[in-house]
Amino acid sequence: MHRMLADDLARFPELLRSARDVAVRALAGLDERPVAALGPVPARAALPERGEGGEGALARFTERWTPGLSASAGPRYLGFVTGGVTPASLTGDWLTSAYDQNAAAATGSWGAALERETVAWLAELFGLGAAHGGAFVTGATMSNTVGLAIAREWLGERLGVDVSRAGAAALGPVDVLSGSPHSSVGKALSVLGIGRDRLRPVPLLPGDREAVDVTALDAALAALDGRPAIVVANAGTVNTVDFDDLRAIAALRRRYDFWLHVDAAFGAFAALSPAHAPLVAGLDEADSVCVDLHKWLNVPYDAAVQFTRRRDLQVAVFHNESPYLGPPADEPDFLHLTPETSRRLRALPAWFSLTAYGRDGYREIVERNIAEARRLGSGIDALADLRLLAPVRLNVVCFTLAENPAQDRVDALARAVAASGETFLTPTVYGGVPALRAAFSNWRTTEEDTRRVLAALTAASAAL
Ligand SMILES: *Cc1c(COP(=O)(O)O)cnc(C)c1O
């Protein structure tokens, strides 16, 4: 054995303790560290020829790279939709690597069974019935991709074509209808050979809304003259967290032939708050559902779950049969359900966190995040220099400059806010207006954080 490996093997417990110390310092510093890292990155180092051992690598990492890592695990990183890491999920994540299971199949390990238990818990959390099976994937983009791959196979079933064998071209042009789809849907359609241009926008409800106009969707489906289609419903848009009326869309299936995919990446968590659960009523009626977990479940990257009622079609797309892997069984192994074959036991952090905090703990996180988004929204509404672009419907505040919200001025505001070190927000364009979004989905965020964010925004907008 190489000398460095032998040393590390002998000192493995000490090395893990050192890593623990680095982690403890990083987490303790989340409140003081600038939220975004803006400085120049270090010059690239040469490939290490001899190696410095685990302790050496830890020293090199803390010295060269940790100063430039953002405080995205902390309470005031409000860019994109960014969750943190609960204590229990971090514990589960460490042990995922320590046990290093391959959850591809059930052979020789209970890991895959643990994933099945976790998926069943998540289905229940989001109000999905027993007809929905699920699997862990790396993020909502991949969850949307898998859902739309199953939709593509379903179109083949309707048209008498085996897409997994004949290819997507055998379908001819596919119609994908959606109101305010996330950008990852276009990416998924590109990957799947359906094509980004086949995503056909359907008019939205009038006013400050991003939800699809179901009457317009009805008309768009009628115009297909009986051709089967895919509808992507959106349960939580990223700008203003608007929700399509899932029940009304699902009811259209009585008259039209379509696959209903719901992108509920973070909106699915509305189900946890009794006051907001009606926003996702009807989710269970979807044919496939995307839910991200590294956002509001506050587990580490990278984790999401993909649910569907049509496991048979999922196996048709993803099965990976060979003499050494075996054919899909009655309960197909995950390698027959997801793009990956070998896969880490990604479910373990979620299993830990659900075991540690339960439905009740997650309801508290979701409701606190919504309350803080509302608080920031009211604070911004009261400022002369800023104005809200939409009501705060759930956990995102979408706002811009009250006077002349030109792109360069909004960019300058974003830079000034990031430079304050107090918070980090990401830009968007809403209704043609350059804007910023503050998205609350971190389990640590409290009223004191919102006060600091509002103070930073007040100062930056006044100085513009
Ligand atoms: C974040 C998000 C995605 C993409 O998620 P990734 O985890 O970044 O792949 C898709 N849809 C919605 C609605 C999202 O919020």
In CATH terms, 19-85+358-464 corresponds, of 3.30.300.30, 3.40.50.300, 1.10.10.10, 3.90.1150.170, to 3.90.1150.170
Query: 291 in ligand 1 pocket by Cβ < 6 Å?
Result: no
Tell me if 148 CB under 6 Å of ligand 1: no
What's residue 322's pLDDT?
87
| Of 208, 274, 288, 207, residue with least CA distance to 246 | 288
Residue with tokens 């890991």: 111
Report the C-alpha gap between 110 and 101 in whole angstroms. 9
Where residue 212 falls among pLDDT bands split at 50, 70, 90? very high
Mean pLDDT of 43-71: 97
- Pairing relationship of beta strands 426-430 and 396-401 according to DSSP bridges: unpaired
What is the pLDDT, as a whole number, of residue 309? 98
Q: What is the CA radius of gyration of the chain?
A: 24
Alpha-carbon distances of 439 from 134, 148, 402, 453, rounded to whole Å: 27, 27, 20, 12
The CB of 297 under 6 Å from ligand 1? The reply is: no
Confidence of residue 361 (pLDDT cuts 50, 70, 90): very high
| Confidence tier at 328 by pLDDT (50, 70, 90) | confident
| Distance of CA 255 from the midpoint of ligand 1 (Å) | 30
Q: Is the CB of 184 under 6 A from ligand 1?
A: yes
DSSP per-residue string spanning 56-107: HHHHHHHHHTGGG---TTSTTB-SSS-----HHHHHHHHHHHHHT--TT--T
Dihedrals phi, psi of 352, to nearest 5 degrees? -60, -45
Q: Name the residue of 184, 232, 262 to mutate for ligand 1: max ligand atoms within 8 A of Cβ.
A: 184
Tell me the C-alpha distance between 169 and 249, whole Å. Answer: 28
Measured in Å, residue 295 CA sits from the centre of ligand 1 at 9
Confidence of residue 324 (pLDDT cuts 50, 70, 90): confident
Ligand 1 centre from 412 Cα, in Å? 26
Atom of ligand 1 nearest to the CA of 139: 7
| Ligand 1 atom with the shortest distance to the CA of 292 | 7
**Ligand 1, pocket-test mutation among 80, 138, 141, most atoms within 8 A of CB:** 141
Q: Which helix (H) or strand (E) holds 317?
A: helix 311-318
Rounded average pLDDT over 424-431: 96
pLDDT at position 151 is 98
pLDDT tens-digit readout, 150-165? 999 999 999 999 999 9
Judge contact between 305 and 269, C-beta under 8 A: no
Q: Could you say which of 3.40.640.10, 3.30.70.890, 1.10.3720.10, 3.40.50.800 is the CATH number of the domain covering 101-343? A: 3.40.640.10
Assess whether the C-beta atom of 128 lies below 6 angstroms from ligand 1: no
Tokens of 33: 């560290």
CB 453 within 8 A of CB 76: yes
Residues 212 and 198: their CA atoms lie apart, in Å, by 17
User: What's the gap in Å between 79 CA and the centre of ligand 1?
Assistant: 13
Please list, in sequence order, all residues whose beta carbon lies within 8 angstroms of the beta carbon of residue 254, skipping any fewer than 6 positions away: none
- Distance from Cα 7 to the centre of ligand 1, integer Å: 42
Q: Look at residue 330 and tell me whether its pLDDT is greater than 90.
A: no
pLDDT score at 203 = 98
Asked if the model's pLDDT at residue 36 lies above 90, the reply is: yes
Mean model confidence pLDDT for the chain:
97
The two structure tokens encoding residue 15: 């090395």
Residue with tokens 């513009």: 464
**Using a 6 Å cutoff on CB, does residue 314 contact ligand 1?**
no
Q: What is the dihedral of CA 140, 271, 203, 378, to 10 degrees?
A: -100
Ligand 1 atom closest to the CA of 264, numbered from 1 = 13
Distance 52 CA to ligand 1 centre (A): 38
Q: What is the pLDDT of residue 208?
A: 87
Phi, psi of 62, deg, nearest 5: -65, -35
Residue 325 has pLDDT above 90, yes or no: no
Please report the pLDDT score of residue 327 as a whole number.
Answer: 82
Which residue, by CA, sits nearest to atom 5 of ligand 1? 140
Question: Region 14-28: what's the mean pLDDT?
Answer: 98
Rounded to the nearest whole angstrom, what is the distance from the C-alpha of residue 303 to the centroid of ligand 1? 11
Given ligand 1 and candidates 81, 182, 269, 289, which is best to mutate, with the most ligand atoms within 8 Å of its CB? Answer: 182
How many helical (H) and strand (E) elements, i.e. helices and strands, does the chain have?
14, 11
Predicted confidence (pLDDT) per residue in 256-302, tens digit: 999 999 999 999 999 999 999 999 999 999 999 999 999 999 999 99
**Residue 344: CB within 6 Å of ligand 1?**
no
Task: Please state, in angstroms and rounded to a whole number, the distance separating the CA atoms of residues 92 and 94.
Answer: 6
Task: Show Cβ contacts of residue 125 under 8 Å, excluding neighbours closer than 6 positions.
Answer: 271, 272, 354, 359, 362
Break the chain into its structural domains and give their ranges: 19-85+358-464, 101-343
Q: Given pLDDT bands bounded at 50, 70 and 90, which one contains residue 321?
A: confident
Please report the pLDDT score of residue 90 as a whole number. Answer: 98
Mean pLDDT for the stretch of residues 77-102:
98
Cα 34 to ligand 1 centroid, rounded to whole Å: 25
Share of the chain above pLDDT 70, in %: 100
Cα(239) to ligand 1 centroid in Å equals 12
Question: How does pLDDT run across 162-179, given as a tens digit for each residue?
Answer: 999 999 999 999 999 999
Better-predicted residue by pLDDT, 122 or 326: 122
Ligand 1 pocket member 140 (CB < 6 A): yes
Extended beta strands in 202-315, E state: 229-234, 258-263, 288-292, 304-308
Ligand 1 pocket, residue 238 CB under 6 Å: yes
Report how far residue 421's alpha carbon sits from residue 138's, in angstroms, rounded to the nearest whole number: 29
Q: Which two tokens stand for residue 283?
A: 């989710």
